Amino acid sequence: MTKFTDLNLDAKVLKAVAETGYESPTPIQAGAIPPALEGRDVLGIAQTGTGKTASFTLPMITLLGRGRARARMPRSLVLAPTRELAAQVAENFDAYAKYTKLSKALLIGGTSFKDQDKIIDKGVDVLIATPGRLLDHLERGKLILTDVKVMVVDEADRMLDMGFIPDIEEIFKRTPFTRQTLFFSATMAPEIERITNTFLSNPAKIEVARAATTNDNIKQGVVIFKGSEKRKEPSEKRALLRALIEAEGEACTNAIIFCNRKSDVDIVSKSLNKYGYNAAPIHGDLDQSHRTRTLEKFRDNELRFLVASDVAARGLDIPAVTHVFNFDVPSHAEDYVHRIGRTGRAGRSGTAIMICIPRDEKNLDDVEALVKQEIPRLDNPTPAEPAKEEAEEKPKRSRSRRKKEDVAAPEQTETPPKDAAPAREEKPRRERNRGRGRNEPEVVGMGDEPPAFIALSFAERAKV
């Protein structure tokens, strides 16, 4: 079996790796590190949770061991699709480079430009960034990429999903042609293949697993669910989620619950807390400090359930996540692979359970077609009668409007005397009251013979 000591890494890097407790590299690490150390471009395709981050951080630290960075001119660049993944890469760099003098800068949204500018001005060896924030610095003239020797694109397929490919192409054009490129992705979409053909030169291709495959150590299942009524379906679906959690019992020590919509993330989190489950939301609308605090609580086991949008599907390296619950079937089939990849990491076993309602059945078909397997169907653990949810009762509609027959004029019951004048014809109340307030007296007409002066013309009236 290959060990890290066999990979020709720098002695300081090997010392840091040994302190993390790892002795043998994962397949993607064993395949990618040797050609990277030779200076070749690398195209790595591996499912999430297989150790791709170390596949480029370890050789990058070794390659940058000599040399010194100049102000605003980083020597290497790592692009990540989300803030969380960029922060995760930064943590890995700190762990593996602690015995070196290499410096780094983390450029992500939600933090101060001024603080980031100060670090860049000093000169950094490794620049870790999200595409949007990096382009902001470039457009402000605060960065020059002409000295980049190693460029890394991590989770390229996620970049595609988030619409970052044009940004990636623009960044590539600002780096020198002689750079070394390390390109990693879990799937290989046609657009990703086009990018690699354009910007990579004769890369060493390492594919340790078939594209878009799931780990064998993850137990998968899906519950096909249909609500009793359309308006009750959301609350019954939340009740089903709670029942699934309870059915797992003590085996579910912590879990990430994925929702497709940010609004549902907040609703599901609030619902779980109402029923005594320790949960917190995380999605793109929350500020970075809030997201960081939430993730730290989850890592430290102060938080049992993390309710997340797909912003958290990548970049969360939390080895001990026992369960993943897909509250919704993901709209993009590739996201299913990344979501359930949050469990079963580092050789551990994991469980991934999904809820599928009728309108999501097409998405379920897409997922099964992608992973080339049928996801086992699970029984619905909820009781026959749907559980009552926490939704507040809607106020009853007021009965201020009466039916037309209730406002009709009462029928006359008494017979008028024979010598009485003939009663005028009764008109509907709406016609009689038209143009007047409700309480104004009824206007009586002038009869069939109007006064003579009304028939005169204006000229004749002027003579009178």
How far is the C-alpha of 151 from the C-alpha of 116, rounded, in Å? 20
Flag whether pLDDT at 385 surpasses 90.
no
Output the pLDDT for position 395.
46
In this prediction, residue 384 carries a pLDDT of 52
User: Rounded distance, CA 61 to CA 125, Å?
Assistant: 9
Specify the higher pLDDT residue, 337 or 64.
64
User: How confident is the model at residue 432, as a pLDDT?
Assistant: 47
SS3 content of the chain, % helix, strand, coil (to 5): 40, 15, 45
Phi/psi for 443 (5° steps) reads: -85, 130
Helices then strands, each counted (H, E), the chain: 17, 13
Q: What is the CA radius of gyration of the chain?
A: 35
Distance (Å, rounded) from C-alpha 199 to C-alpha 215? 30
For residue 256, give the 3-state DSSP assignment.
strand
Please report the pLDDT score of residue 392 as a whole number. Answer: 42
429: nearest Cα among 420, 439, 421: 439
In angstroms, what CA-CA distances link 259 with 5, 158, 371? 42, 17, 20
Going from the N-terminus, what domains does the chain have, and what CATH number goes with each? Answer: 4-207 (3.40.50.300), 218-371 (3.40.50.300)
Residue 420 has pLDDT above 60, yes or no: no
Distance (Å, whole) CA 438 – CA 429: 10
Contact call for residues 157 and 334 (beta carbons, < 8 A): yes
Q: Is 281 helix (H, G, I), strand (E, B) or coil?
A: strand
Question: What digits encode the pLDDT tens for the residues 401-416?
Answer: 444 444 444 444 444 4
What is the rounded average pLDDT of the residues 84-96?
91
pLDDT reported for residue 456: 64
- Is residue 398 over pLDDT 50? no
Distance, in Å, from the CA atom of 449 to the CA atom of 254, rounded to the nearest integer, reads 92
Q: How far is CA 83 from the centre of its chain?
A: 12
Whole-number percent of the chain with pLDDT over 70: 79
State the pTM of this model. 0.64
pLDDT of residue 52: 87
Which residues make beta-bridge pairs with 353? 221, 325
Residue 447 pLDDT greater than 70, yes or no: no
**pLDDT higher than threshold 60 for residue 381:** yes
Report the chain's mean pLDDT, rounded to a whole number.
Answer: 83
Over the stretch 297-333, which tens digit does the pLDDT of each residue have?
A: 998 999 999 999 886 555 566 778 999 999 999 988 8
Quick one: pLDDT band at residue 112, thresholds 50, 70, 90? confident
Would you state the structure tokens that stand for residue 88, as one six-digit string?
Answer: 């995760």
Note the helical H segments in 130-189: 131-139, 156-161, 165-173
Q: How far apart are CA 292 and CA 234, in angstroms?
A: 29
Mean pLDDT of 57-86: 90
End-to-end CA distance of the chain: 125
Q: Which residue has the higher pLDDT, 204 or 52?
A: 204
The number of residues making up the chain comes to: 464
Q: What does DSSP say about strands 279-282 and 305-308: parallel, antiparallel, or unpaired?
A: parallel
226-249 average pLDDT score: 94
180 secondary structure, DSSP code = E
Question: How high is the pLDDT of residue 50?
Answer: 75
- Given this model, what pLDDT does residue 406 score? 45
